[in-house]
Structure 1
Amino acid sequence: MPPRPRALLPCLTAAALLALALGAAPATAGPTATSDTPLALTPPMGWNNWAHYMCDIDEAKVLANADALVSTGLAAKGYDTVTVDDCWMTKSRDADGDLVTDTRKFPHGMAWLGDHLHAKGLRFGIYQDAGSLTCEGYPGSGAPAGGGADHYARDARLFASWNVDYVKMDGCNLYVPPGTTKERAYRDAYHAVAGALRDSGRDMVLSASAPAYFQQGEWGGSDWHKVLHWVGETGQLWREGRDIKVYNAKAPNTSRWSSVLGNYGYNRWLGRYAGPGNWNDPDFLIAGAPGLSAAESRSQVGLWAMMAAPFILSSQVSQLSPAGLAALGNTDLIALDQDPMGRQGAVVSSNATFDILVRPLANGDRAVAVLNRSGAARDIDVPLGEVGLPGCTADAKDLWNGRRALVGGSLTGRVAAHDTGVWRLSPRGCAGAVPTGQIAGAGATCADGANTTAAGAVVMAACTGAPDQRWSLGDGATLRLAGACLSAGDQGLVELARCAPGRPGQSWEHDRSGTLTETVSGLCLTAPAATSAAHAPAERLRLAPCGDHRVDQTWALPV
């Protein structure tokens, strides 16, 4: 079988990014994968019990939700993988060392459950942990505390014998041997998991939770970025941060909106890691479940679709609100999420009120989403040039109501409080899209070319969505702002200078780790250290030797 295609080149130049935005895919090397068969070439879809039931799960609840996926039509639209999360087993392995199904909860056993789901046209997923114990204290696959043999191969063979299709591999209680870093221990464990699944004789999609155990705030720390860099060699999707807020039956109307925004927040900068067979996973869809309004449910579906995120529900499917069910079943949003190019959308601009995202699509269209964070409805006016379509007109389809319009200078509309408008634009009358938007880094701040300490200087500032933060990827791997190019300057500083074809110091490479390397010097664009001093002058961006996944050298670029 052919190797599974990789999401991105190990080193991707700005020019290559521009080609990708126009629909051209650069040649890539095949990755190390869990199988020789391409898996999860579009984001997985389905259902998991955790965010609604947690450990209060049994065979009847799983089957009831599987039946509801079918009866609501969601299964036919792609929500086809039913995954049983933690607490499905007993607290001890059997005499042979195998995991034991808790038959009080699952009286027919897991093999029967898998066969029953398959008979409904669904796929079967199961939970395990790469550590010695699961997060709820059940037997994990990993080595025991203090060292010893692991159970990765044994558990993979058991899952294969049950005809499992999808494995969620958590990362609690993972033993870190003396003299080994935590990051290295997780790397070794998840590569071992991947090898065991590959050798099991059955293709099983692997959801790897490794990055979630290293997250430190929205922008993350060095080890988080290291784990994100290698996790795609092990699994097809990965949880990279906090869990979505779980349902509270004692306070069912407790808002979960801040949790949705938080998970969106850390995921929105990670598009360089996503592509066919590799997906950033900001956790479950809870749209239509208690704790989200109709507008907030639309927002989660819209934002997850823009980010090419897995569409995995975690709710009581039969009790989804009509508005939530309509959002989840919206075929235009599902098609957006499942677009075969697999490019994750990027933030064009952001401020306290709005985020504007753009996503390139396989047929040359561009999806545009506008998140209204505020508590009031807002009118929007988004010039086409600001979403990478300068000099274009576009056929615009509102993906929520299906209305179409021919758009000239700007995309306009009204977005309700906590809602997200989503449009699909088919450009006309222009050569093609030009990746345009923020260069974000260093704690989710933005490279700014106007609020400066000296003429031509570039500093980091709070993201505003203003023109002084609107960069584009130009010819010759240049980064342009207001007609000038980001350039290597004197004394290691960077500056805005007149663009000159072939001029040294104006060509940049953006690699998979997120670094921006000036190609002549081989030095990396580096953000200044944050300061808490009031009214302190902004420090300029500079070039410095490239480090190992340094947070101040990690950047998110336009697409």
Structure 2
Amino acid sequence: MPPRPRAALPCLTAAALLALALVPAPAAAEPTATWDAPLALTPPMGWNNWAHYMCDIDEAKVVANADALVSTGLAAKGYDTVTVDDCWMLKERDAEGNLVTDTVKFPHGMAWLGEYLHAKGLKFGIYEDAGSLTCERYPGSGSPEGGGPDHYARDARLFASWKVDYVKMDGCNLWVPPGKTKEQAYRDAYNSVARALRDSGRPMVLSASAPAYFQQGEWGGSDWHKVLDWVGETGQLWREGRDIKVYAPNAPATSRWSSVLGNYGYNRWLGRYAGPGNWNDPDFLIAGAPGLTDAESRSQVGLWAMMAAPFILSSDVSALTPGGLAALGNTRLIGLDQDPLGRQGAVVSSNATFEVLARPLANGDRAVAVLNRSGSPRDVSVPLADVGLPPACVADAEDLWTGRRTEVVDALTGRLGAHDTAVWRLTPRGCAEAVPTGQINGLGAKCADGASTSGVGSVVLGTCTAGADQRWTLGGGGRLKLAGECLTARAGGLVELADCAPGRQAGQSWSHRRDGTLVEETGGQCLTAPAAPATPDAPAERLRLTACGDHQVDQAWSLPV
């Protein structure tokens, strides 16, 4: 069975909120307007039941968690959309083809629930599926197996009549018509969903789960990359991979940390798709819930904020640990996540112990985070030059967990607990603009490495070590530089490090495209990762240029920002 993403929740912008007041709710019969204003210009925030309650959901639990969002102050800080996930409906539609609320679970119905949430100053989100059945085999919106009419428009009008603000659209049980690939079928289905929501007359944020049904490991396959390339045409956010580990009430102490790291792992390379109105969603925040320590809770909040990921809780809000609640409610971290520039952070360096990320911010500041993957406290030191600040730069550094400010000349330093993440906001003083600096990652999340293991100037793809021979900068003229030399295309398709020529020069100018390809501008060919060595002791093959393919995984690259 495909993975079952249980994703996200939104936060409408001020413009969208104003429009909500101006656009009347349509009748359930025919759409009255088409909504074209941008939605979710910052990452959505809120709550969803799935990772804590799964199908054990009802009106009382939703109301209790909504009330807790308000009473804890989280709602006022932006966690304002409450989404009901799968299992809220009956197993059959009514005689007219409409979805039917399970009134044993939701005795007042969904329109009432929407009114209740709106009266609390919250927004209302609901779950459906683009296939014929939801993942728990309730009625989906898509065509039945074998073909037939779908219910996209009907369901969108019904949701609009309930004053829904956000739709999480899953992707189980989606029929693939003869003559179409699975990827084409999903694209058609989610475009139909998006069109139906636009035509409903009510602005509703769409969380699209399509990519999660194509994920194959951390780096993914060709179809996964294809779906990631188009899913932003349909929704404002998308679940691109496996679910976060759900709460186990019979074993509440079961660790969920590896699940957090796994979801962080596949999301960290996808920053090229993120920006205002389009967000990569690595699934729910479970900080403060059973299965994470306080340090691990801080790490999830910090890493999600660095990745501009949706902040969607899935927990019993009234039972959050004090440490988890403090992390989730930290307004400095929320401000980082919601930075209006909308650039997702990228990996500066990584190895088995530490991971360093950098993220450019709207006012010219630069956020830096350090994850301690190890099970022991560690001393950390991150030179400012390693995160893109020029030599002799002085920066004011704010520790976003404590608010403490210090002046930094050489390096960010500190001691970091096991599984904890430090996050700073750097404000440079009198410095030149920061230069994107960090790893170039390719196939299998490995690093482009300039160590001369295969000849002078050669560049190979190797295990990430956080070494200086893997720290690239993006220079003017489309140049990719390592230790003062430029990545250069040579005859025969080889690439190597060579002296940098001034300006845009043939063989030294590269374009990073939305699909992840690195294209050498003169010849129009793509940087291509070599296949894995046949044996562990085999010498690494050099990177080469080959003809650009269709979302080839060996031609997708993640670059510094």
Is contact 2:533-2:539 (8 Å) kept? no
1:524 equivalent in alignment to 2:526: yes
- Matching residue of 1:224: 224
Match 1:540 to one of 517, 539, 542: 542
Any idea what the Cα deviations from partners look like across 1:40-65, whole Å, max 9, x if unmatched? 00000000000000000000000000
Change (3 A) 1:419 1:451: farther
Report the CA distance between 1:490 and its aligned residue. 2.5
1:100 and 1:37 map into 2 onto residues whose CA distance is 30
Aligned to 2:363: 363
In the aligned structure 1, how far is the partner of 2:493 from the partner of 2:453?
Answer: 17
- AA of the residue aligned to 1:106: F
Report how many aligned residue pairs link the two structures.
Answer: 527
**Structure 2 CA distance, aligned partners of 1:419 and 1:118?**
37
Provide Cα deviations, 1:148-170, integer angstroms capped at 9, x if missing partner.
Answer: 00000000000000000000000
Q: Partner letter of residue 49 of structure 2? A: N
Say if 2:336 is the partner of 1:336. Answer: yes
Taking the aligned partners of 1:243 and 1:371, their CA distance within structure 2 comes to: 21
Q: Does residue 447 of structure 2 align to residue 463 of structure 1?
A: no
Structure 2, unaligned stretches of length 5 or more? 1-12, 14-33
Q: TM-score, normalised by structure 2?
A: 0.93
Q: Could you report, residue by residue, the CA deviation over 1:475-515 in whole angstroms, capped at 9, with x for unpaired residues?
A: 11100000100000131100001000243100000010000
Residue correspondence of structure 1 range 378-397 to structure 2 within 5 A: 378-391=378-391, 392-397=393-398
1:12 is aligned to none
Counterpart residue number, 2:438: 437
Q: Deviations over 1:169-212 (max 9, x none)?
A: 00000000111100000000000000000000000000000000
In structure 2, how many angstroms separate the alpha carbons of the residues matched to 1:195 and 1:418?
Answer: 43
Q: Secondary structure of the residue that 1:555 maps to in structure 2?
A: coil
In structure 2, the residue matched to 1:409 is 410
2:503 pairs with 1:494: no
Q: Is the partner of 2:55 in helix, strand or coil?
A: coil
How big is the shift at 1:546? 0.3
Distance in 1, matches of 2:89 and 2:371, equals 41
Deviations 1:510-548 (A, max 9, x none): 010000000000000000011240311110000000000
The alignment partner of 1:369 has SS state of strand
2:390 and 2:432 in contact (8 A); partners too:
no
Which residue number corresponds to residue 319 of structure 2?
A: 319
Q: Distance in 2 between matches of 1:530 and 1:364?
A: 40
1:191 — aligned with what?
Answer: 191
Letter in 2 for 1:513: D
Residue correspondence of structure 1 range 134-173 to structure 2 within 5 A: 134-173=134-173
AA aligned opposite 2:400? L
What is the alpha-carbon distance in structure 2 between the residues aligned to residue 312 and residue 297 of structure 1?
14
Matching of residues 218-257 of structure 1 within 5 Å: 218-257=218-257
Q: Deviations over 1:55-105 (max 9, x none)?
A: 000000000000000000000000000000000000000000000000000
> Is 1:110 the counterpart of 2:110 in the alignment?
yes
Counterpart of 1:555 in structure 2 is: 557
Q: Distance in 2 between matches of 1:167 and 1:492?
A: 47
For the residue of structure 1 that corresponds to 2:141, the secondary structure is coil
The 2-side partners of 1:534 and 1:252 are apart by 40
Which residue of 2 is the match for residue 24 of structure 1? none
CA RMSD, Structure 1 to Structure 2 (Å): 0.9
SS of the equivalent of 1:232 reads helix
What's the secondary structure of 2:241's corresponding residue?
coil
The one-letter code matched in structure 2 to 1:190 is Y
Tell me the residue number matched to 1:472.
473
Partner in structure 1 of residue 4 of structure 2: none
Q: Which has the higher contact order (CA 8 A, sep 6+)?
A: 1
Q: In the aligned structure 2, how far is the partner of 1:150 from the partner of 1:266?
A: 32
Q: Encode CA deviations 1:218-260: one digit per residue, 9 max, x unaligned.
A: 0000000000000000000000000000000000000000000
**How far 1:408 sits from its partner (Å)?**
0.5
1:429 Cα deviation (Å)?
A: 2.7
Amino acid aligned to 2:255 = S
The whole-number CA distance in structure 1 between the counterparts of 2:491 and 2:439 is 25
SS, match of residue 107 in structure 1: coil
The 5-angstrom pairing of residues 12-51 of structure 1 reads 35-51=35-51
Task: State the one-letter code of the partner of 2:102.
Answer: D
Is 2:345 aligned against 1:345? Answer: yes
Secondary structure of the 1:197 match is helix
SS in 2 for 1:556: coil
Query: Does 2:107 match 1:89?
Result: no
Measured against aligned partners, the alpha-carbon deviations of 1:363-388 in whole angstroms (never above 9, x if no partner) come to: 00000000000000110110000000
Question: Which residue number in structure 2 is paired with residue 305 of structure 1?
Answer: 305
TM-score w.r.t. the length of structure 1 is: 0.94
- The residue type equivalent to 1:524 in the other structure is C
Residue type of the partner of 1:314?
S
Identical pairs, percent: 80
**C-alpha distance after superposition, 1:312-360 (max 9, x if no partner):** 0000000000000000000000000000000000000000001100000
User: Following TM superposition, by how much is the alpha carbon of 1:454 offset from its aligned partner in structure 2, in angstroms?
Assistant: 0.2
- Mapped to 1, the partners of 2:425 and 2:505 lie a distance apart of 38
1:336 and 1:534 mapped to 2: Cα distance? 41
1:205 aligns with 2:208: no
Q: Which amino acid aligns with 2:479?
A: T
Amino acid at match of 1:402: G
Instruction: Give the AA of the match of 2:410.
Output: G
For residues 197 and 169 of structure 1, what CA distance do their matches in structure 2 show? 11
1:29 is aligned to: none
Distance 1:77 1:175 in 2: 41
> What letter matches 1:379 in structure 2?
D
C-alpha distance in 2, partners of 1:467/1:211?
34
Which shifted more, 241-250 or 424-433? Answer: 424-433
Runs of 4+ in 1 over 4 A off after TM superposition: none
Deviations 1:373-419 (A, max 9, x none): 00001101100000000221100000111111000011111111000
Distance 1:92 1:440 in 2: 48
Q: CA, structure 1 residues 260+274, in 2 after alignment: closer, same or farther (shift >3 Å)?
A: same
Structure 1: how far apart are the matches of 2:339 and 2:506?
A: 38
3-state SS of paired residue (2:492) = helix
- 1:451 offset after TM fit, Å? 4.4
SS of corresponding position for 1:47 = strand
User: Aligned to 2:444, what secondary structure does the other structure show?
Assistant: coil
For the residue of structure 2 that corresponds to 1:65, the secondary structure is helix
